[in-house]
A and B are shown apart, each in its own frame.
Chain A
Amino acid sequence: MTTAAHIRRELDAVTIRFAGDSGDGMQLAGEQFTSATAVAGNDLATLPDFPAEIRAPAGSLPGVSAFQIQFASTDIFTPGDEADVLVCMNPAALKTNLNTVRRGGTIIVNSDAFTETNLKKAGYAVSPLDDESLKEYAIHKVPIETLTIEATKGLEIPSRTAKTCKNFFALGLMYHMYQRPMEETLAFIDAKFLAKTPLIAEANKRVLNAGWNFGDTAELGSGFVVPPARISPGTYRNIRGNDALALGIVAASVRSGLPVFLGAYPITPASDVLHVLSQYKHFGVRTFQAEDEIAGVCAAIGASFGGGLGVTISSGPGIALKTEALGLAHMTELPLLVCNVQRGGPSTGLPTKTEQADLFQAIFGRNGECPIPVIAAATPADAFESVYEAARIAIKYMTPVFFLSDGYIANGSEPWKIPDPDSLPPIDVNFVKTGETVQPYERDPVTLARRWVKPGTPGLEHRIGGLEKADKTGNISYDPDNHDKMTRIRAEKVARIAQEIPPTETAGDPDGDVVVVGWGSTYGSIEAAVRAARLRGVRAAHVHLRYLNPLPSDLESVLRRFRKVLVPEINLGQLSFILRGKYLIDARGFNQVRGQPFKVAALTQAIMNLSEET
């Protein structure tokens, strides 16, 4: 019996990319494909790539929105350097995404959209489907709109409405091509549309099935199989970075017993954290959409003063506005969690693109001597644990703490092994109780943290503020010696957080040619590149830093075990600058600021090149 099953090819990893107009529903198609892929048991990583404009003119180049996913039968770390398959809903999407497809890759185009008008909008003089320009790719012209309308025949909906279901056709087609289960998506359609617009629900389901069936009959090289990955046992869910961040904050609230107060002003790509946390009122979470960024952080400081867990979230431009208030939180030594979901900068920059150029801002960006601990997430799922750690440090050391995420982590997703809440490190809160005699700026001898006194506690009335404090009493002091002493104490308190940091791990060789040091969302690209370089004979290791201020105390000795130090960053060399300055070590940068994650191949080459230097 010669069925498709017999000629299916097994693949280790596949990268597919959906691209279309902002209104074509590509993000939705990508998210659904991601869920189905998680259900199929693959490891995966995603990269949503969309414009800042809500809806640029239809068919235009700036209006193109894309979603990329890599899935594999092994551990993977990135959404893929190049797409094996590009699904392309219009000429503009083809033009802007062609360079993301590997040579010889497959491109499925919605041929209905290749009209004269659309070609002109995309700047094509001649249709690329009619000339030789795509000869290096396997092109499949599919009249997706026609087939979509065909599939909805008999339902009483206008063809204009029917056409909007076309993303489900593309999705059905890809489900067939990679043999993904469709049940989750069918359930999603019912949940989203059945109650309010049953006809649309029916149309979407028919179109999804039509896409699958088209794949079955048209034999578009269909029937690839990516077997499930061997991942460690446990219960999993797929999670986006911004969701993991919100959950981490709630977990810190539950474990500390402190109510969360989130003061925030909407900003891309951080707003989702505000949206998600506002749904968790049953956990006592208070979300406050402030009138501006400054009010957001100041209200959070007020909440911490009152004995709550003050949190503020933003992105670079908003963090810039919060700067003065962060100095106040440092000076008054109140716990405060400051989350920066970084985006392309400077100024308004690239709101929807990723970048990690706010490291200097986090570490240095304040007036006066004002060190603030900095912790960064490595991946979407890691945002949970790392933001929890940031909250724990803030409370234990009575200090504002920066938590850095970025656009890639925020919107990207990956399977997450759900932790047991009881296994999370405890967060002890030790408010001063009535009857205790404590001065406002008396300190714990180990952490140097001052005690936390809630207003309303009798007998402990005191005043705090931004003016310099006298040691212990906290009264205003302009004394030169006291200022010198207090400046050093505050710095020492932050430096002592190094005692919380576990020994630095090297992934790869314990010593040798090149150690690649990274932080934040470049974790995946660096890990993949170090593995690739080692396969090519380089003695290399990957050191990933979760704690950026203070740095791990053993970091210098670890780095000195290697001949060369490479620091890849999506900035012009911020961590490398710090490592050079701090350790007098020849840390080399590998730097790109393209608004996109690193490509593994380019990074691997950089490691190879450096390893060859004497």
Chain B
Amino acid sequence: MSDHDLPGGHDEPLPKYTKDDFTTDQDVRWCPGCGDYAVLATVQKLMAELPVRREDHVFVSGIGCSSRFPYYMNTYGFHTIHGRATAVASGLKITNPNLHVWIVTGDGDGLSIGGNHLMHLLRRNFDVTVLLFNNRIYGLTKGQYSPTSELGKRTKSTPMGSIDYPLSPLAVALGSGASFVGRSYDVDGKHLSGLIRQAWEHKGTSFIEIYQNCNIFNDGAFTSVTEKASKDAAQLRLEHGKKMLFDGGRKGIAFQEGRPVVITLGVDGTEEDVATHDAFDADISRAFALANVQVPEYPTPMGLLRAVSRPTYESLLHAQIDEAQKKKKADLHALLHGGYTWKVEDH
């Protein structure tokens, strides 16, 4: 048996795309002012720049505000069910590894109802990219707390304040064996675009947490991290091979006995004491430590935390199939006649 020819991965010259080529005729239905608009524009712009044919992209999503994303991308798209985009994408990528598969999810879809599938997608390491929009609230169901909402948060379902301890998406991703983990945010298109491009270049599952403002139900959730006035002091911009400096170089992160410590240069130490970011560190401990720090105690890390190289699930599976096909002919007649058979003659 031969598979139907798998589409994708063509050799013909790539058309010259613009952002408009990736825009659909559908009305965008996010609330005015939603951070999703900025992410959409960044992704559409990036798609026009990537050396990939439009028909080879597939955007797969679950349920929630962010999961409407595929309807606005003029590529192939699948708006699935709550929490299961990761599972649908797994079967799709196995069936056609030539496709560039993007999973768009949110803090509820990806970490609550779909937490299990996310964990397994990451450990299997399909060559796909996960864009997790984190707005720390449930938007589409109109304002309940999410797994990333802070303790004590008052929402429609927590009138006396949330008693659910929030999780760190980056720590979950690292703990699940993700081979590429990073963070960016909606309104910094340049940074976000750069990180997504790195993720696309990475062979394996890339996980990007995108801080995204929900101006209706959780406005300003990330203001202290992202607003112009404070962002230099509130963000730790991670770059491989560079010192972990922030606040205009006045402060930095040092690792003391394995723990990250904020030092003020000239007060607690010198630039020599500041750690250098190794994004490709085989040891996970520093990345894990950075995944668990944020404002106000620390600057919030932004950028690529860690990327490591590991074979992808689909390449291992297809290698097994190739090996089996080399060893054994796919002969249906022989298969049906397997085991002990006997003939009954005409009476």
Contact = CB atoms under 8 A, between A and B. Distances in A.
B61 to A, nearest CB: 8
Contact of B92 (A184, A235, A306, A460): A306
Contact of B3 (A234, A259, A456): A259
B340 A184 contact: yes
Contacts of B78: 302, 305, 332, 463-465
A284 B325 contact: yes
Given A236-B343, A286-B317, A463-B76, A303 B81 contact: no
Nearest to A236: B342
Given A298-B88, A302-B88, A454-B96, A233 B7 contact: no
A254 B332 contact: yes
Interface stretch (A275-283, A546-554, A592-600): A275-283
Interface size class on chain A is: 35 or more
A292 B116 contact: yes
B91 A288 contact: yes
Interface string B217-254: 00000000000000000000000000000000000000
Contact of B96 (A455, A460, A467): A455
B77 to A, nearest CB: 4
Interface in A256-303: 257-259, 261, 263, 280-284, 286, 288, 290-292, 294-295, 298-303
Interface string B179-196: 000000000000000000
Interface string B1-45: 111101110000000000000001010000000000000000000
A310 interface: yes
Interface stretch (B50-58, B147-155, B156-164): B50-58
A28 interface: no
Contacts of B6: 307, 456
Interface stretch (B67-75, B275-283, B298-306): B67-75
Contact of B321 (A263, A284, A295, A304): A284
Interface string A389-431: 0000000000000000000000000000011110000000101
Contacts of B63: 466
A283 B71 CA distance: 36
Given A302-B89, A306-B95, A280 B4 contact: no
A286 B2 contact: no
B333 to A, nearest CB: 6
A458 B53 contact: yes
B88 A475 contact: no
Interface SS of chain B: helix, strand, loop or mixed?
Answer: mixed
A328 B325 CA distance: 34
Nearest to A298: B87
Contacts of A457: 7, 55
A235 B116 contact: no
Interface in A217-232: 230-232
Contact of B117 (A295, A327, A420): A295
Contacts of B346: 233
Contacts of A465: 70-71, 77-80
A282 B120 contact: no
Nearest to B313: A288
Interface residues of B, number: 70
B4 A475 contact: no
Given A230-B347, A233-B346, A303-B91, A461 B55 contact: yes
A237 to B, nearest CB: 5
B81 A235 contact: no
A335 B74 CA distance: 24
A303 B333 CA distance: 26
A295 B345 CA distance: 48
B267 interface: no
A324 interface: yes
B335 A280 contact: yes
A421 B95 contact: no
A439 to B, nearest CB: 13
B325 A294 contact: no
Interface stretch (A34-42, A47-55, A137-145, A481-489): A34-42
Given A233-B346, A457-B55, A465-B70, A281 B320 contact: yes
Contacts of A231: 344
Contact of A463 (B3, B77, B342, B345): B77
Pairs A-B, 6 closest by C-beta atoms = A456-B7, A465-B79, A302-B91, A299-B91, A298-B87, A306-B95
26 contacts: A233-B343, A235-B337, A237-B339, A238-B339, A247-B336, A254-B1, A257-B1, A258-B4, A261-B91, A281-B320, A282-B325, A286-B321, A290-B90, A294-B117, A295-B117, A299-B94, A302-B93, A303-B94, A305-B88, A306-B95, A306-B96, A324-B81, A421-B332, A461-B74, A466-B79, A475-B26
Interface of B: 1-4, 6-8, 24, 26, 53-56, 58, 60, 63, 70-71, 73-82, 84, 87-96, 98-99, 116-117, 119-120, 317, 320-321, 323-325, 327-330, 332-333, 335-347
Given A282-B329, A306-B96, 15 more contacts: A235-B343, A235-B344, A237-B338, A238-B340, A259-B3, A282-B325, A284-B325, A288-B90, A295-B116, A301-B91, A303-B95, A418-B337, A456-B96, A458-B54, A461-B74
